[in-house]
């Protein structure tokens, strides 16, 4: 086989299908989020100042002074890297404190850190489903790739239930022997549609059919609940979930992932998960920054409230000019274009002519025909930013001859 030809052909296929990913090269500047400079690779040429409208740093905590100060302080105290896996010299006091902070956030006995949310899902689901004898995983059809990969890696039997469909979940649970171990894996806020799972009802089914529950709150931690504990905290359901999984890389603005659960379950995953055991721990400065972010969002509602107000404002403005977006109860606003070429075109022109950065979301991330612009307003987007975004979108909607929704239909 000619390896280079193989690589090139595979990439050409991706390009032909319109699925080749191109990254925007952004230079961020301390204190000026959501503004950044779009650069052109290593050429050294500035292209433009842009406003980021698609970041998962949902609350701008990646620039918060508490977080930056904690990171600077930890860097000065501890140096750069953790220096090892958690088992072999990589556990610093900052890791221990962060795990305690996370356990408290979710009112669980313990928490366990991983290098990312992806790794936490892959390692925790892989280990739980793989090691509990005869376990069946009941997985929501729209679960994130990291959960799917973890479940595959476990080699456990799995059943995929229709997205957020309680009747389908119940039918699948009822088809299994009551004493067979079961794990229901699902998310709270789904990232592409921004819809929210019926967590209470899923917990009720789990009780009825003797199943464990594994909830991914990656798009909810920091954002929902009086202390940022996620949708489960908001709904008073944290104690009903077996495992709550989250990220430190989105609303908390730093990096890393975790599970929060009983002390035994965390100890079990700590003891058996290769994705925990055999990899270098996150740097202490990252742990310290994440802990500062969590502490701030536990004690303050300002960022959450302001973000919710900005989300409501963008939705109302989109409605006013008839631009279709998914009506969901979360902070994620999917503006539906429904055509991959137009979606990419709008995103390109927004960046080039308006300094607005929104990555197009095309197949296979979302089903064909539902191509979209996923907008995530933050507390630091100004009224002028919103007016500029809406004006630009309105003009491009016209130019692309995309349908508008009449006011009466909204």
Residues marked active site are found at: 250
Contacting ligand PMP within 190-229 (CB under 6 A) = 191, 216, 218-219
Cα 245 off chain centre by: 11
User: Which listed residue (57, 94, 101, 187) binds ligand PMP by CB under 6 A?
Assistant: 187
Q: What is the pattern of x (binds ligand PMP, CB under 6 A) and - over residues 131-170?
A: -------------x-x------------------------
* Region from 7-15, 110-118, 310-318, 346-354 binding ligand PMP, contact rule CB under 6 A: 110-118
Contacting ligand PMP within 390-409 (CB under 6 A) = none
Cis before 143? omega within 30: no
By rule CB under 6 A, what count of residues binds ligand PMP? 14
Minimum separation from the CB atom of position 121 to ligand PMP (A): 6
Distance CA 34, CA 49 (A): 10
Cβ-based nearer residue to ligand PMP, 227 or 374: 374
Assess 51 for contact with ligand PMP (CB under 6 A): no
* Region from 95-103, 111-119, 199-207, 234-242 binding ligand PMP, contact rule CB under 6 A: 111-119
Contacting ligand PMP within 298-317 (CB under 6 A) = none
Cis before 364? omega within 30: yes
Q: Minimal CB distance to ligand PMP: which residue?
A: 117
Minimum separation from the CB atom of position 189 to ligand PMP (A): 8
Minimum separation from the CB atom of position 45 to ligand PMP (A): 30
Cβ-based nearer residue to ligand PMP, 57 or 216: 216
Minimum separation from the CB atom of position 174 to ligand PMP (A): 27
Cβ-based nearer residue to ligand PMP, 342 or 372: 372
Cα 308 off chain centre by: 17
Cβ-based nearer residue to ligand PMP, 234 or 397: 234
Cβ-based nearer residue to ligand PMP, 92 or 120: 120
Minimum separation from the CB atom of position 282 to ligand PMP (A): 11
Cβ-based nearer residue to ligand PMP, 118 or 268: 118
Cβ-based nearer residue to ligand PMP, 188 or 209: 188
Cβ burial 43-69 (10 Å sphere, 16+ → b, else e):
eeeeeeebbbbbbbbbbbbbbbeebbe
Assess 117 for contact with ligand PMP (CB under 6 A): yes
Question: Are 355 and 50 spatial neighbours (Cβ–Cβ below 8 Å)?
Answer: yes
Q: What is the pattern of x (binds ligand PMP, CB under 6 A) and - over residues 333-372?
A: ----------------------------------------
Contacting ligand PMP within 227-286 (CB under 6 A) = 247, 249, 257
Which residues sit at the interface with ligand PMP, rule CB under 6 A? Answer: 116-118, 121, 144, 146, 187, 191, 216, 218-219, 247, 249, 257
């Amino acid at each position: 086989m000619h390896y280079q030809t193989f690589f090139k052909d595979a990439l050409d296929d991706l390009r032909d299908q319109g699925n080749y990913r191109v990254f925007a090269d952004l230079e961020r500047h301390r204190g000026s989020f959501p503004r950044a400079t779009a650069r052109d690779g290593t050429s050294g040429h500035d292209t433009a100042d842009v406003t980021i409208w698609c970041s998962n740093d949902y609350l701008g905590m990646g620039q918060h002074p508490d977080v930056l100060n904690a990171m600077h302080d930890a860097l000065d105290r501890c140096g750069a890297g953790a220096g090892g896996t958690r088992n072999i010299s990589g556990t610093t006091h900052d890791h221990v404190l962060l795990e305690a902070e996370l356990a408290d956030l979710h009112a669980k006995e313990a928490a366990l850190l991983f290098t990312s949310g992806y790794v936490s899902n892959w390692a925790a689901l892989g280990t739980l489903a793989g090691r509990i004898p005869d376990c069946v995983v009941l997985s929501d059809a729209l679960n994130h790739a990291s959960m799917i990969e973890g479940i595959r890696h476990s080699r456990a039997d799995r059943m995929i239930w229709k997205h957020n469909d309680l009747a389908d979940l119940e039918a699948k649970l009822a088809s299994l022997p009551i004493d067979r171990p079961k794990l229901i894996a699902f998310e709270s806020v789904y990232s592409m549609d921004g819809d929210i799972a019926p967590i209470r009802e899923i917990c009720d089914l789990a009780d009825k059919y003797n199943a464990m529950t594994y909830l991914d709150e990656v798009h909810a931690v920091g954002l929902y609940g009086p202390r940022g504990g996620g949708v489960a905290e908001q709904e008073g359901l944290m104690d009903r979930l077996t495992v709550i999984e989250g990220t430190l890389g989105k609303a908390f603005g730093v990096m890393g992932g975790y599970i929060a659960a009983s002390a035994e379950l965390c100890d079990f995953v700590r003891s058996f998960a290769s994705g925990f055991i055999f990899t270098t721990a996150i740097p202490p400065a990252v742990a310290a920054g994440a802990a500062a972010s969590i502490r701030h969002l536990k004690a303050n509602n300002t960022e959450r409230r302001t973000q919710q107000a900005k989300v409501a404002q963008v939705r109302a403005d989109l409605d006013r000019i008839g631009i279709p977006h998914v009506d969901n109860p979360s902070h994620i606003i999917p503006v539906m274009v429904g055509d991959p070429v137009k979606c990419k075109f709008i995103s390109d022109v927004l960046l080039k002519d308006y300094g607005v950065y929104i990555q197009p979301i095309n197949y296979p991330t979302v089903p064909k025909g539902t191509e979209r612009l996923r907008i995530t307003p933050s507390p630091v987007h100004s009224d002028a930013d919103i007016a500029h975004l809406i004006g630009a979108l309105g003009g491009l909607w016209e130019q692309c001859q995309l349908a508008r929704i009449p006011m009466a239909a909204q």
